[in-house]
Every structure is written in C-alpha cells, then in structure tokens.
Amino acid sequence: MAQVLPAERGLRRVIGDGDAVPDGEVEGLSDHDLVELYRSVVLLRTYDERSVVYHRQGRIGTYAIFWNHEAIQAGSAYALNDDDWIFPSYRESAIGLLRGMPASTVLAWWRGHPAGWWNPADYNVASICVPIATHVPHAAGLAWGKKLRGEKACAIVYFGDGATSEGSFHEGANLAAVTGSPLVLLCNNNQWAISTPLEAQTRADNLADKAVGYGMPGLRVDGLDVLAVYEATREAVERARAGEGPTFIEAVHYRAAPHATADDPKAYIDLERVEEEKGRECVARFEGYLRRAGILTDEMAESIRAEAAAVMREGIAAAEAEPPADPALLFEHTFVDPPASFARDLAELRRTLGSSLG
Ligand SMILES: Cc1ncc(C[n+]2csc(CCOP(=O)(O)OP(=O)(O)O)c2C)c(N)n1
Ligand SMILES: [Mg+2]
C-alpha cells in the first residue's frame, strides 16, 4: 500500500523578509549552487521581459508571459539531473534554456518557425504543450517507462491550477500513482486560468489535497521562494528515485502579469493584489536573500544580468536570421498518403505567399 501523507496546508518557505521573518537554509546547497540558481532566475526573467518587448515590436507572435513564475521553474529544474525529463506547458516555454537550449530555438518557436522544433531527446525536454494538461499522461507514460527499464531517471510535468480540472490531469496523476512511476507533478497555482479564478475552478480547500485521492503525497510551497521550490522538488525526486512513486507539488502565488500578450487582465483581476505580488516578486526576493548572506555583490549581479541580456540579443538575431520556412511543411507528417487536395492547396498557398517563400 502506498503511504499517503496528508497534504501540508501551510506553505513551505525558506527565504525570509529581511525583517521579522528570518532566512532559512537548504541543506546541501553550496554558495556556488545558490549563484547558479540566481543565474537561472535572471536568465528566465530576462527571457520573459525581452520577449514581451519583441512581441510589441512584432518580432514574435502571441507570447505566454511567465513573469514571477521564474522561481518555480528554476527552483524545480535545479533539483533534477540532466537525464530527468521535463514536460513543459506554454508557461514554461523557455525552461529548455536551463538545459542548454539556445534562446534562438525558443524564440523561433514563438515565431511559429520550424527552427523552434527541437528533438526532445537532445535535451530531455518534451515539446511545449499548449493543450491544457494533455502532457500529464505523456509524462506519466515516460516515467513509467523509466521504471520498467530499471533506469533511475524521473520526469517532471508542469501545469496550472486550471489544468487540475481537466480529465488528462486526473488520468495522468492516477496512472502515475497506480504504476508507482517516478513523476513529479508540479502545479503552478497562479490562481487564474486566463479569466477564471481558482474559486470557480474547484471546491477543494487547496490543490495539494487532490494528491490524497490518488494516494500520493501533496506538498505546498510558496511559489515565489526559489529555495522552497527547490527543496520540495528535491524531496519529490528522491522519493521518485527510491521507487516510492509520484509526488504532487502545489506552488502557490498570484499571477502578476497578463495571461499572455493578447490578454488584458484589468477587466477581471484584483489590481491591488497584483501590485502586492509585484512588491514581493521572486527575483528580487532571492537577490535580497543572497545579499543578506553576503553571497552576491553588485558586480556579480551586474555581470549575470549582462550575460543574460547578451543571450537574448544573440538569440533574437539568430532566430531572425533563419530563412523563411517551406510552406510544404504544413502538409507533411500527418498522412502517409496525403489527400489529393493537398497538392492543390500547397500550390495555392505558394502563390499567395509569393515566390520568395516557395
Ligand atoms: C484543452 C484546452 N482547453 C482550453 C484551452 C484554452 N486555454 C489556454 S490557457 C488556459 C488557462 C489555463 O490555466 P492554468 O491551467 O491555470 O494555467 P496558467 O495559464 O495559469 O499557467 C485555457 C483554458 C487550451 N489551451 N487547451
Ligand atoms: Mg493558472
């Protein structure tokens, strides 16, 4: 029988407030690790902020902003080994950067260019999943496969609070639990599914409680605390590697940016709460922790930010230097024997797009 731990109601936190709440420590994390984690959150923050600018300049398409989700992504990814698999949703589109994927690849994805399609096996990062929760069963299946082959690697799947209302989430979570698969289910609870608030999504007291129904532990962490997220994920990964099956982690915060570049949340969101969240945003919070600990200097912070800015400058230049894609790609890879109409459709598309593309 699986041992079911009660979901922890309180949010786990490590980073204090620089005042009444003292800073904690994560055992086993060296100063070097802390700086690497900082490098990751800054890289993701820079990616996100630059992407919004590139969108406004018409250089990338609609973009799912992940501002203030960086602590969840960087903290959890740091708890993984390179042979562990990552299954991102659109909200974690740039998580591949933490595995060495070039920024140009992710930017090309948001430009709708095939240079943005990578081979998942190159980075152990699955394709970005746009349909809500459909990647949860994929991740469960991969994790089960790892177990059946006797490999030690595990998988992590990222999804939102809204995804917990989807059938695919339940199927994937249950499959992982009954097969005892090494899977970390990381729920980014930003309390909104576009304009649908959490209270319209569930009657559960908290999302981590759902874990009990599947027979897996449920942990709740402060989603703006990169160290708390790291520590919880490390625990989940240790359980997975020890053959103890999946863990559900609920990382709680409040969405402080629009859902995507096409959204105007002023119509529905609590703007005061957004301002509060911005005041405790996750990169500055971690930076404060590192400075109080005497680990981060102005020069280091400056050089890490400059490094990230250079990655983005080079990334957008490389993405824009890609030659236009062949429109024939739109008609490939679906049918072994394509319908005859495809040839006519492709010819018409080539005519419409003009000879420069065809
Ligand atoms: C199966 C499916 N239904 C609907 C949508 C449209 N949609 C895109 S994002 C979104 C909200 C998802 O919210 P949540 O799971 O909380 O993730 P978040 O965007 O907040 O990270 C919806 C409904 C979709 N992409 N896929
Ligand atoms: Mg959400």
- Per residue in 119-161, pLDDT (tens digit) is 999 999 999 999 999 999 999 999 999 999 999 999 999 999 9
Is 235 strand, coil or helix?
Answer: helix
Q: Ligand 1 pocket, 68 CB below 6 A?
A: no
pLDDT of residue 334: 85
Cα 132 to ligand 1 centroid, rounded to whole Å: 5
pLDDT of residue 2: 43
- Whether 261 and 52 have beta carbons less than 8 Å apart is answered as yes
Cα 130 to ligand 1 centroid, rounded to whole Å: 8
Between strands 196-197 and 218-222, the pairing is unpaired
Cα 270 to ligand 2 centroid, rounded to whole Å: 14
Joined tokens for residue 329: 């790609």
Minimum-distance ligand 1 atom for the alpha carbon of 194: 11
- Catalytic option among 45, 91, 138, 259: 259
Q: Ligand 1 pocket, 91 CB below 6 A?
A: yes
- Which of these, 48, 46, 24, lies nearest to 34 by C-alpha position? 24
pLDDT of residue 354: 83
Minimum-distance ligand 1 atom for the alpha carbon of 69: 21
Question: Which ligand is closest in space to the CA of residue 189?
Answer: 2
pLDDT of residue 324: 92
Cα 193 to ligand 2 centroid, rounded to whole Å: 4
pLDDT of residue 5: 55
pLDDT of residue 142: 98
pLDDT of residue 6: 62
Residues of the chain with pLDDT under 70: 1-8, 355-358
Residue 259 annotated among the catalytic residues of the structure: yes
pLDDT of residue 9: 73
In terms of phi and psi (left: phi > 0; alpha: psi -120 to 50; beta: otherwise), the region of 184 is beta
- Catalytic option among 138, 220, 234, 255: 255
The per-residue pLDDT for range 268-305, each reduced to its tens digit, is: 999 999 999 999 999 999 999 999 999 999 999 999 99
- Which of these, 179, 257, 267, 170, lies nearest to 211 by C-alpha position? 170
Residue 255 annotated among the catalytic residues of the structure: yes
pLDDT of residue 10: 85
Minimum-distance ligand 1 atom for the alpha carbon of 188: 21
What CA–CA distances, in Å, run from 340 to 137, 288, 329, 332, 348?
35, 62, 16, 13, 13
Taking the CA of residue 229 as centre, how many other CA atoms within 13 Å lie in the half-sphere pointing to its CB?
Answer: 30
pLDDT of residue 333: 85
Is 73 strand, coil or helix?
Answer: helix
